[in-house]
C-alpha cells in the first residue's frame, strides 16, 4: 500500500492526539494494597495511559492504605531510583486511625457534615478515601513530570487524614479565626429532630434544590410563589452563607410555601426570577455518558499537535520540551512553573491552591479593588480567613477583563505562563476574548484548564453549576441518605472540593502531555465529574459505634497503623482540633487562624531494593 505524505501526517496527528489524551502511556507501575484510596488512584492512572500491575505483596511499612511504585518509564534515567507514592491512614497525624470511619470522625468531616443535623454524622461515602486517591494519582503524575523536567526521582507520601484536612481547610480557618473575629451572623444549628430546608418538597411530591447568588432573584422567586416577605428576608442570610457554615436553618414558612406549589409552578417562578432549580434524583438516576478522557485532555487547537513532533523527539531524548528544568533542590515538582488563574468561590481557587502546594507560582487575576471575598468575615488580619484558606501564597494582578486595557494586561501575563486556569460559566471566556482559540496564538504551548459545573451533562442553557445542585441532580444526595431517610445534599461542599482536586489533577496530567509532545493542551473538568466519581465508589458497610478513645491513648505506630483496634473519637470542635498537638505536622497555625498544610511530602526516592 502506498503511504502518501497526507496519510503520514494524519497518522502522526492521531498518535499525537493519543499522546495528549494518555500522557502516561509507556509507564508501568506496581500496586500494593486494596483500600478505596488505592483503587481510585489506580483507576485514575490507568485512564492516563499507565499500566498498573498488582504484585500481591502487602504495602510496605508506613503505607497501610496502599503503595504505588514506578517499575519502568520511557523517560527515566538508567541506574536512577524511580518515583513512588505511599498512602497512610493517619499519616503525620498523631491520632490512631485504621479506616475511613476513623478519619471522618477524627479529622472533622463527620462534624461538618453533621452540623445541619445537630451533631456529628458520618458520610455514607468513603469521601476522604476518594479524595486521597485523586491526590495520590496527582502526586505520582507530578513526580513523573519532575523526571521529565530533568529533576530528581521523588517519593511522595500522603494519607487519607491529610486529604480530609485539606477538604476542610476553609472550615478550619473559619473556626479558628472566629475566636478572635466572631462572624456577623453565624449559621444556626438546628435542634435534634428539627427539619431542614432545602431541599424543598412541592405539592406534587417533587423534592428540589434551588440556587442563586442574587438577593433580588431570591426575593422575586419567593414573591411569585406567595411567601411572606418577612420569611423571605429572614431566609436570605442563612441560604447565602450555607457554603461557609454547612448549615441552612430557613424559616419554616418557606418550606410551607414550596409545599403549596406544584413543581411546574416552581420551575416557572424560577425561570421568571433567574433562579436555578433542579429535582433531587435517585441514586441510580442516569447521567450523560462520561467523556473518553475523564479530564477531557486534547490539543489546545486542532492544528497544535502538528508542531509537536520535534518537541516529542527532544522529550524522548531527555529534554524538557519547553518546560523549565526542575532544580535538584526544588520545593515541589511544579516549582518554576507559572499558573495564572481567574477563579472564584471554592472549586477554582482550591485547584490553584493545590497547584501552589505542588510548587507552582500562582498569580490570580482579580477585578479592580480585589476579589470581593477578601472582605467576607471572619477576618484573619486584613483578609478573610476563608479566602486565605484557598488562596494563601498566591500573587494577584487586578485587571478589569471587561475592558480592552484589562484584557491586554491579562494577555501579557498569560503569554509568560505555563497554565491558565479559570472557572467561568459557559460563554464568558469567549466574551472576554480569552478562550483557548484566543490564547493559542499568544502562547501556543499553554495548558488551558477550565473548571466548570456541568460539562456535557445537561444541555444549554444550563443551571448554575454549584455544589448542592450537582449533588441533587447527580444522585449523590440520594447515596448519602440512610435507610428510611429522604435524599438530601450534604451542606459540606463535597463536589466543590473533589472537583477542585480533579481540576488540579487535570492540570498536572496536561503538563505531562505538554512535556512529552510540546503541544499546548486543553483540560476540562466539572463538578459533575466529582459526582460521577463518588457514584462509582461502592457504598461502605455501616461502621460500628465503638467507644471514644480516652485521653492519653498512645499515638499511631511508625507503620502508620493504630496500636489497637479502637475507633477514633468524633471531633465536635474544629478550633479545639486545631489546637491539639496531634495535628502539629499537618496544620499551619498563624496568630489569626489555622490552615491545612500540603497533603503530601516529597523526598528523594530510594532504590526499589531499599524501599521494599
Number of Cβ atoms within 10 Å of the Cβ of 191: 8
* CA separation, residue 552 to residues 91, 94, 96, 113, 217 (Å): 19, 11, 12, 27, 53
Q: Is the dihedral of CA 255, 256, 257, 260 positive or negative?
A: positive
Active site residue 496: yes
Rg for the chain, CA atoms, rounded: 24
Q: Give the whole-angstrom CA distance, residue 80 versus residue 70.
A: 12
- All residues at 6 or more sequence positions from 233 whose CB lies less than 8 Å from its CB, including other chains: 219
The catalytic position among 496, 529, 579, 584 is 496
- All residues at 6 or more sequence positions from 86 whose CB lies less than 8 Å from its CB, including other chains: 59, 60, 62, 63, 66, 67, 68, 155, 156, 157, 158
β-pair partners for 450: 422, 524
Q: Long-range pairs for 218-225 at CB < 8 Å and ≥24 separation?
A: 218/273, 218/275, 220/272, 220/273, 220/274, 220/275, 221/269, 221/270, 221/272, 221/273, 221/275, 222/254, 222/257, 224/268, 224/269, 224/272, 224/273, 225/257, 225/258, 225/260, 225/261, 225/265, 225/266, 225/269
Q: Give the whole-angstrom CA distance, residue 557 versus residue 559.
A: 5
Active site residues: 496
Amino acid at each position: 500500500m502506498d503511504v502518501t505524505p497526507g496519510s503520514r501526517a494524519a497518522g502522526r496527528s492521531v498518535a499525537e492526539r493519543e499522546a495528549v489524551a494518555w500522557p502516561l502511556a509507556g509507564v508501568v507501575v506496581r500496586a500494593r494494597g486494596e483500600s478505596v484510596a488505592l483503587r481510585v488512584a489506580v483507576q485514575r492512572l490507568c485512564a492516563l495511559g499507565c499500566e498498573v500491575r498488582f504484585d500481591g505483596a502487602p504495602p510496605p511499612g508506613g503505607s497501610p492504605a496502599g503503595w504505588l511504585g514506578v517499575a519502568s518509564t520511557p523517560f527515566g534515567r538508567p541506574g536512577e531510583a524511580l518515583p513512588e507514592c505511599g498512602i497512610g491512614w493517619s499519616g503525620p497525624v498523631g491520632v490512631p486511625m485504621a479506616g475511613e470511619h476513623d478519619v471522618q470522625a477524627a479529622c472533622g468531616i463527620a462534624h461538618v457534615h453533621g452540623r445541619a443535623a445537630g451533631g456529628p454524622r458520618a458520610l455514607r461515602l468513603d469521601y476522604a478515601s476518594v479524595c486521597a486517591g485523586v491526590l495520590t494519582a496527582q502526586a505520582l503524575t507530578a513526580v513523573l513530570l519532575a523526571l521529565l523536567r530533568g529533576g530528581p526521582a521523588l517519593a511522595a507520601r500522603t494519607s487519607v487524614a491529610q486529604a480530609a484536612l485539606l477538604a476542610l481547610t476553609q472550615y478550619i480557618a473559619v473556626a479558628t479565626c472566629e475566636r478572635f473575629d466572631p462572624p456577623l451572623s453565624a449559621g444556626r444549628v438546628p435542634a435534634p429532630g428539627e427539619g431542614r430546608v432545602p431541599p424543598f418538597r412541592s405539592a406534587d411530591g417533587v423534592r428540589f434544590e434551588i440556587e442563586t447568588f442574587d438577593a433580588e432573584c431570591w426575593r422575586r422567586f419567593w414573591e411569585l410563589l406567595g411567601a411572606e416577605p418577612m420569611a423571605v428576608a429572614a431566609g436570605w442570610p442563612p441560604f447565602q452563607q450555607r457554603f461557609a457554615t454547612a448549615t441552612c436553618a430557613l424559616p419554616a414558612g418557606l418550606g410551607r410555601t414550596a409545599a403549596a406549589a406544584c413543581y411546574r409552578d416552581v420551575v416557572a417562578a424560577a425561570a421568571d426570577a433567574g433562579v436555578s432549580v433542579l429535582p433531587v434524583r435517585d441514586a441510580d438516576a442516569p447521567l450523560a455518558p462520561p467523556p473518553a478522557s475523564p479530564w477531557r485532555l486534547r490539543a489546545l487547537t486542532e492544528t497544535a499537535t502538528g508542531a509537536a513532533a520535534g518537541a516529542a523527539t527532544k522529550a524522548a531524548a531527555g529534554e524538557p520540551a519547553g518546560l523549565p528544568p526542575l532544580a535538584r533542590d526544588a520545593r515541589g515538582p511544579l516549582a518554576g512553573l507559572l499558573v495564572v488563574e481567574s477563579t472564584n468561590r471554592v472549586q477554582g481557587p482550591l485547584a490553584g491552591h493545590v497547584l501552589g502546594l505542588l510548587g507552582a507560582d500562582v498569580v490570580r487575576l482579580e477585578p479592580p479593588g480585589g476579589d470581593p471575598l477578601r472582605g467576607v468575615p471572619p477576618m484573619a488580619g486584613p483578609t478573610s480567613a476563608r479566602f486565605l484558606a484557598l488562596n494563601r501564597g498566591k500573587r494577584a494582578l487586578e485587571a478589569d477583563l471587561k475592558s480592552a486595557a484589562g484584557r491586554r494586561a491579562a494577555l501579557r501575563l498569560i503569554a509568560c505562563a505555563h497554565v491558565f486556569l479559570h472557572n467561568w460559566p459557559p460563554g464568558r471566556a469567549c466574551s472576554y476574548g480569552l478562550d483557548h482559540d484566543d490564547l493559542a496564538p499568544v502562547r501556543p504551548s499553554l495548558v488551558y484548564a477550565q473548571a466548570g459545573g456541568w460539562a456535557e451533562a445537561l444541555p444549554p442553557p444550563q443551571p448554575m453549576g454549584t455544589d448542592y445542585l450537582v449533588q441533587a441532580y447527580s444522585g449523590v444526595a440520594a447515596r448519602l441518605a440512610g435507610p428510611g431517610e429522604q435524599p438530601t445534599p450534604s451542606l459540606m461542599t463535597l463536589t466543590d472540593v473533589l472537583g477542585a482536586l480533579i481540576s488540579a489533577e487535570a492540570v498536572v496530567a496536561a503538563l505531562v502531555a505538554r512535556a512529552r509532545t510540546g503541544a499546548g493542551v486543553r483540560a476540562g473538568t466539572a463538578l459533575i465529574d466529582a459526582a460521577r466519581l463518588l457514584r462509582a465508589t461502592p457504598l461502605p458497610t455501616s461502621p460500628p459505634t465503638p467507644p471514644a478513645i480516652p485521653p492519653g491513648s498512645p499515638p499511631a505506630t511508625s507503620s502508620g497503623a493504630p496500636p489497637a483496634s479502637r475507633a477514633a473519637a468524633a471531633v465536635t470542635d474544629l478550633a479545639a482540633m486545631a489546637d491539639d498537638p496531634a495535628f502539629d505536622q499537618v496544620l499551619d497555625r498563624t496568630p489569626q487562624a489555622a490552615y491545612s498544610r500540603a497533603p503530601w511530602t516529597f523526598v528523594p526516592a530510594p532504590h526499589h531494593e531499599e524501599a521494599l
